[in-house]
Amino acid sequence: MINQVRHPIWISTAKRPTARVFAILFGIESMARAIITSVVPIQTYDLLQSERSVSILYTCMSMLGLMVTLSIPLLIVRIPRRWVYTAGATSLILGCCAFALDTVPGQAAGLFLRTFGAGALSITLSLYIMDHIKKGELVRAESVRMATATFAWTAGPFLGVFLYSTIGMIAPFLLSIGFSLLLLTLFWYFRLSDNPALQKGPSRAANPIANVRRFVAQPRLRLAWLIAFSRSCYWSTFFVYGPILMVATGQGKLAGGLLVSLGNLFLLGSILWGKVGMAKGLMRTISGVFILLAIALAGAGLAGEKFPMIAALMLLAG
């Protein structure tokens, strides 16, 4: 009977990741991407010497990256989430290696890998947040996460261009690789892996393409997508053509990096606009902001290469 005594089984449990954990991961990921966000368009322009060629390359690689990004949910249902996150961070590293080749094919490969890596990291981190952060804590967690990202996107672009201009072309890519390796190390240290005890039973894999019709049929979702899409178009234009404008008009590469850094500093104004939205209503606030954005873009276009500093100020206003 003594030999048949059954000792209690202790189920090992890890502490639930806090908002600070996700803020740290998101901040380091943002730094890895922000450091080269102004360097890449400047380097691409140096290689191609044509704004039109830069546009074509960016558009083609973005479309290809979009198609691959849409397949990430299909990848997650077949591969453990932690490995998809690892693949995303690895893509950022490989993308920097491709950029460091300083060739047109290297730029194309780097843009594709960067797009895939950013998509994989964004989707998987969002899923981890939904798993571990309670609904009531989500607003505070997102505030901390965005504050951390604001610092990275403010300091990163200027730092990257400074290294690119003063030390050499490879310097910002090496630093970005360093932050990506730090991201991977901390991710595995925090043990944000799938818990086998909490896995669902076998189910039919969801196809994100099949949900497009259902999404488009809902007016509020269409409006939300249009708002997000328009905002992303502005940021993409700002990130790519702002630095090129500074270089093409002789203002210098450092001016391009500073422009992007200052633009990201204005993200702190989101706190003010949030209060305005609560006081005046979201619909009126968003409509008014987009009108101001359209005016700023028109002013930047009219100023153009003749008055590059005025164009830069209008972009910052936008």
Predicted pLDDT at 139? 62
Model confidence band, residue 16 (pLDDT cutoffs 50, 70, 90): low
pLDDT at position 209 over 90: no
Model confidence band, residue 194 (pLDDT cutoffs 50, 70, 90): low
- Specify the range with the lowest mean pLDDT, choosing from 60-69, 86-95, 154-163, 196-205: 196-205
Please report where in the chains the tokens 């060629």 appear, as a residue: 53
Sequence spans of domains, the chain: 15-194, 210-318
Predicted pLDDT at 136? 64
Q: What is the mean pLDDT of the chain?
A: 83
pLDDT at position 1 over 60: no
Q: What are phi and psi of 300, to 5 degrees?
A: -65, -40
Q: Could you tell me what percent of the chain has a pLDDT over 70? A: 86
Predicted pLDDT at 175? 95
Residue-wise pLDDT tens digits, 131-141: 877 766 666 67
The average pLDDT across 246-254 equals 88
Q: Could you tell me what percent of the chain has a pLDDT over 90? A: 31
Residue-wise pLDDT tens digits, 218-229: 888 888 888 888
Predicted pLDDT at 29? 93
Residue-wise pLDDT tens digits, 96-144: 999 999 999 999 999 999 999 998 998 898 888 888 777 666 666 777 7
Predicted pLDDT at 13? 46
What is the topology classification, in CATH, of domain 15-194?
A: Growth Hormone; Chain: A; (1.20.1250)
